[in-house]
Amino acid sequence: MMASDIHHRTQDFIKLYPVVLRDLKEVYGTQASDVLITVSSGTGALEAATSNFFSKGDKVVVCCAGKFGERWVELASAYGLNAVVLKAEYGDAVSPGRVETALKENPDARGVMFQASETSTGAAHDVKAIAEITREAGALCIVDAITGLGTMPLDIDGWGLDIVVGGSQKAFMIPPGLAFISVSPKAWEMNQTANLPRLYFDLKREKKMAAKGESSWTPNTSLILALAEALKYIKEIGMDKLVENAQLLARATRLAALELGLELFAPNSPSASVTAIRAPKGMDSGEIVKGFRNQFGSVIANGQGTMKGQIFRIAHLGYFDFADLFAMVAELELILHTKGLPVKFGRGVAAVQNVYAESALAKETVPA
Ligand SMILES: *Cc1c(COP(=O)(O)O)cnc(C)c1O
- Sketch the domain layout of the chain as residue ranges: 11-237, 239-365
| C-alpha 364 – ligand 1 centre gap (Å) | 32
Q: Assess if CATH 3.90.1150.10 describes domain 239-365.
A: yes
Distance of CA 155 to CAs 127, 152, 217, 224, 294, Å?
9, 10, 30, 25, 41
Q: Is 348 in the pocket of ligand 1 (CB under 6 A)?
A: no
Q: Is 304 in the pocket of ligand 1 (CB under 6 A)?
A: no
Q: Is 30 in the pocket of ligand 1 (CB under 6 A)?
A: no
DSSP letters, 27-72, are HHT-SSSEEEEESS-HHHHHHHHHHSS--TT-EEEEEE-SHHHHHH
Q: Is 42 in the pocket of ligand 1 (CB under 6 A)?
A: yes
Q: Is 354 in the pocket of ligand 1 (CB under 6 A)?
A: no
| C-alpha 124 – ligand 1 centre gap (Å) | 14
> What 3-state DSSP class applies to 310?
coil
Same fold yes or no, 11-237 and 239-365? no
DSSP letters, 251-305, are HHHHHHHHHTT--BSS-SSB-SSEEEEEPPTT--HHHHHHHIIIII----EE--G
Residue nearest to ligand 1 atom 3, measured at CA? 42
- The continuous run of DSSP H or E covering 181 comes out as strand 179-183
| 280 Cβ neighbours under 8 A, 6+ residues apart | 261, 262, 336, 339, 341
pTM score, whole prediction: 0.96
Q: According to the model, what pLDDT value does residue 129 have?
A: 98
Topology at the third CATH level for domain 11-237: Aspartate Aminotransferase; domain 2 (3.40.640)
Q: Is 68 in the pocket of ligand 1 (CB under 6 A)?
A: yes
368 residues of the chain, pLDDT tens digit each: 888 788 888 898 999 999 999 999 999 999 999 999 999 999 999 999 999 999 999 999 999 999 999 999 999 999 999 999 999 999 999 999 999 999 999 999 999 999 999 999 999 999 999 999 999 999 999 999 999 999 999 999 999 999 999 999 999 999 999 999 999 999 999 999 999 999 999 999 999 999 999 999 999 999 999 999 999 999 999 999 999 999 999 999 999 999 999 999 999 999 999 999 999 999 999 999 999 999 999 999 999 999 999 999 999 999 999 999 999 999 999 999 999 999 999 999 999 999 999 986 666 655 55
| C-alpha 261 – ligand 1 centre gap (Å) | 30
Residue nearest to ligand 1 atom 12, measured at CA? 146
Q: Is 269 in the pocket of ligand 1 (CB under 6 A)?
A: no
